[in-house]
Amino acid sequence: MSDLSQLSKQISYILRHAPWEFELELDSEGWVSVNDLLAALNSASSPSNITRSMIEQMIEASDKQRHELSGDRIRALYGHSLPGKLKCSPATPPHTLYHGTGLESIESIKVHGLLPMSRQYVHLSTDRKTARLVGARKSKQVVILNVQAGAAAAHGVPFYEGNSQVWLADEVPPQWIEFD
């Protein structure tokens, strides 16, 4: 597997959704040993020679910052659908964050706010362009919501930094969402 994009997708799948399929166990913050991940990747159905250097190149080349390396550990930063919630440390968000969604979801969001649905957290973007791209994966009629994250955080809504472009929240009540 020489394509870094394909490697990123495979590692994302493993770390976000199905570590047990590769006999890996994540700690409470989503970390796993790089050596254990390499062993799993290299013994998968189509053996390959993936190295730590290739993982480092994949992370460096990624514009979406999906993974983090720290010493001899690696984790996915966001997008988990694993049972049980990974621990995140609250952080002070930017004043405004954005969420792209389908037009068909707006009425429910007006009543219930933003909920994580099948993921562990609500995903929010730091810019409208990214929010539009995310929303377009779900619907042809994308609506960009402005989330008043700074004010919400000041009133006790916890936010967590996923990376420089993605912020996470347990949920966002409707009073902190601007519907255009």
User: What are 56-71's pLDDT values in tens digits?
Assistant: 999 998 877 889 999 9
Average confidence score pLDDT of the chain: 87
The pLDDT value given to residue 144:
96
Structural tokens at position 16:
């976000």
The pLDDT value given to residue 83:
65
As annotated, the residues of the chain forming the CATH 3.20.170.30 domain(s) are 97-178
Most confident listed range (45-54, 87-96, 132-141)? 87-96
67-76, 138-147, 161-170: lowest mean pLDDT where? 161-170
As annotated, the residues of the chain forming the CATH 1.10.10.970 domain(s) are 4-76
Q: What is the pTM of this model?
A: 0.64
Residue indicated by tokens 């254990």 = 36
Reduced to 3 states (helix: H, G, I; strand: E, B; else coil), residue 78 is coil
21-30, 61-70, 81-90, 119-128: lowest mean pLDDT where? 81-90
Of the candidates 88, 78, 90, 86, the residue with the CA atom closest to the CA atom of residue 125: 78
Whole-number Cα distances in Å, 38 to 42, 51, 112, 170 = 6, 7, 42, 32
At residue 174, φ and ψ (nearest 5 deg) are: -60, -25
pLDDT of 45 strictly over 70: no
At residue 21, φ and ψ (nearest 5 deg) are: -65, -20
pLDDT-based confidence at residue 175 (cuts at 50, 70, 90): very high
Of the candidates 136, 155, 144, the residue with the CA atom closest to the CA atom of residue 179: 144
The pLDDT value given to residue 41:
87
At residue 67, φ and ψ (nearest 5 deg) are: -130, 160
The pLDDT value given to residue 48:
74
29-33, 39-43, 157-161: lowest mean pLDDT where? 39-43
CATH code of domain 4-76: 1.10.10.970
CATH 3.20.20.70 fits 97-178, yes or no: no
pLDDT of 129 strictly over 70: yes
Structural tokens at position 105:
């979801």
